[in-house]
Structure 1
C-alpha cells in the first residue's frame, strides 16, 4: 500500500482534481445564472495551481532541475503559500459575500478581506524571503482565520434566517462544510512541514496518505454537491 501511494500519489491527485473540473464543466450550464458557477471556476484554478506547482518534480524528471537549483524557487512552498492559500481565502470570502444577504455580515466580510489582503501585502514586503521556506506560517495562519470567518458568517446567516429550513439543499452549505473540515486538518499538517526530511520516508508516506485522503474528500465531495444540488437563483 505504501509503495502504491508513493508511486501513484500525483496521478491519483490529478485524477480526482480532473474529475471535479470535468464535472464542473459539464454542469456549467446548470449553474450559469447562479453564484455557484464561481465554484466551477475555482476548481479549474485549483487544478492549474496544483499542476504548475509541481514544477520541481517536472523539471527534475526532464533533467532541467539545474535551472532552479540553489535559487529561491528551488522548492515550491512560495507557490502554494501565495497562489493556493491566498486564492482559496479570496474565493471563500467572495462566494460567501455573494450568498449572504445581511448588510452587516456583508460589511464584515468585505472589511475582513481588506485586512487580510493588507496582511498578505505586508508579508510579501517585509517577510519576502521567508515565504520560500517551509517554516513560514504567517500566510497560512492569516488564510486560516479569514476562511473560518467567512464560513462562520455564512452559517450564522443560515441559523438566523428562513434558509435553515432548506439548508441541506444548498450547494453553498456543502461547500462551506467541506472546506471547514478540509482546512481543520490541512492547516495543522502544514505546520509539521518544517520537520520534512527527504530521507524520512515514514513521514513522507504518512503525509502523502493524509494529503491524498483530504484531496479525494475535497474534490469528490464538491463534485457530488454540484451533481445533486439544485441551482439557487435567489
Structure 2
C-alpha cells in the first residue's frame, strides 16, 4: 500500500497541469491526498474520491469554482464519509483496504499560515477530530500541517509542540517528520506501523510546480 500527499498551490503554475497530473498518476498511490486542490487536476485512475466544499461558496470573488482545499483519492472503496469540524478545510473518509478499514483525514492545518491566529483555533478543533476518529481504529492524518519538524524551514514553537504532544499521547507517529524543508506530512497509529517497514519518496524538490514538495509512504512488507 502506498499513501501520498501534495499541495499543488491552487494551480498557480496552471500551464503545467499536464505535468502535474502525469506526476501524480506515476506516483501510483492507493490513497492520494491533494491540498490547495483544483478540479482541473483530475486523476482518472481513482474510482473513489471525496473532497471539501467548493471555496467559491465562501468567496466567489476570490476563489474559482474549481478550487477546493482538500481531496482524498482512493483506489480502495470509500465506505463512509465522516464529519469534520469545518468541511471547507478538511474531509475524512472511512476506507476499506486489504488490511482493514482506515479512517483517512485529509487536511490543511491553518489555511492562512502558521502565524495567523486562525492556525491555533484550527489546530485545536482538528485535534478533537483526530482524537475521535483514531479511537479503536486505524487512523491516518495526511496533508499540509504548515509545520516542519526537523529544521527551521517553516514552523512555530507552539504548533510544533502541540502536534508532537498530541501524537505522542495518542500513540500516532509522524512518518515524515525527519524530512527537510517539508510541511506536508503523513501520520499513522504506532500499533499499525509495528507490522510494516516503509519507504519514503519525495518529488518536486526544486518547488517549480508548486511551492511544496510531494511525499509518499510505501508500506513495502509485513514483518513476521
Higher radius of gyration, 1 or 2: 1
More strand, by proportion: 2
Structure number with the bigger relative contact order (C-alpha 8 A, sep ≥ 6) is 1
More helix, by proportion: 1
